[in-house]
Amino acid sequence: MQNKLGKGFTLIEVMVTVAIVAIIAAVALPSYSSYVQRSRIPVALDGLSSYYTRMEQRYQDVGNYGTATACAIAAPVVANFTVSCSTSNTAQGYTATATGSGNMAGYGYTINHQGTRSTTAHPKGAVAGCWSMKGATCDT
């Protein structure tokens, strides 16, 4: 009689492979989720920066940022954030705020008429005078 060689995988080999894939997924998925969440922040910061430029152009043209109760230029629509604006000092100043919504809840950024940027809410803590940090220094 001729012996037939078994073809295929044993149950142990399959279980080891599944365990390795599960360990890799357990490590990679949280890192990827964090990466995706961080990638949504620059969109809000770009929206605030362009809004700041438009508001400064308005001030150069008219001499104020709006009325005593509202900013003259509509706040931009930014994905995953709600942008709002409020005037101060009889429309001689303003503060624009981007507040995270949905899965970005807990994030908040502001810019004012003087160009001062602040992180008002962040899971790692708020930072006055800056939007992001590299180590212990402001990344402007």
Quick check: 82 and 101 in contact, CB under 8 A? yes
Residue 2's pLDDT is what? Answer: 57
pTM for this prediction:
0.79
Model confidence at 89: pLDDT above 70 = yes
Q: How far is CA 117 from the centre of its chain?
A: 14
Model confidence at 20: pLDDT above 60 = yes
How would residue 133 be classed by pLDDT, with cut points 50, 70 and 90? low
Mean pLDDT over all residues of the chain? 90
The mean per-residue pLDDT over the stretch 15-30 comes to: 94
- Sequence-ordered list of residues with C-beta below 8 angstroms from that of 86, at least 6 positions apart, any chain: 70, 71, 94, 95, 97
Residue 7's pLDDT is what? Answer: 79
Which pLDDT tens digit goes with each residue over 39-71? 999 999 999 999 999 999 999 999 999 998 899
Quick check: 66 and 82 in contact, CB under 8 A? no
Residue 123's pLDDT is what? Answer: 85
